[in-house]
Amino acid sequence: MVRIVTDSAANLSTDLVEKHNIHVVPLRVQMGSDTYREGIDLTQEEFFRRLPTTNPLPSTSQPTPLDFEEVYKEILATGDEIVSVHLSSDLSGTYNSARNAMLSFEGSPISIVDSRSVSAGIALHALAAARMAEAGK
| Domain residue spans of the chain | 2-26+63-134, 28-61
Q: b/e map of 81-117 (b: 16 or more CB within 10 Å)?
A: ebbbbbbbbeebbbbebbbbbbeeeeeeebebbbbeb
Query: Which residues, at least 6 apart from 49, have a Cβ–Cβ distance to it below 8 Å?
Result: none
pTM of the full structure: 0.93
Rounded Cα gap, residues 36 and 18, in angstroms: 22
With beta carbons less than 8 A apart as the criterion, state whether 32 and 54 touch: yes
**Residue 76 φ/ψ, nearest 5 degrees:** -60, -30
Element (H, E) at 118: none
Rounded Cα gap, residues 52 and 59, in angstroms: 14
pLDDT tens for the chain, residues 1 to 137: 999 999 999 999 999 999 999 999 999 999 989 999 999 999 889 999 999 999 999 999 999 999 999 999 999 999 999 999 999 999 999 999 999 999 999 999 999 999 999 999 999 999 999 999 999 98
Q: What angle do helix axes 65-76 and 94-103 make, rounded to 10 degrees?
A: 50
CATH superfamily of 2-26+63-134: Dihydroxyacetone kinase; domain 1 (3.40.50.10440)
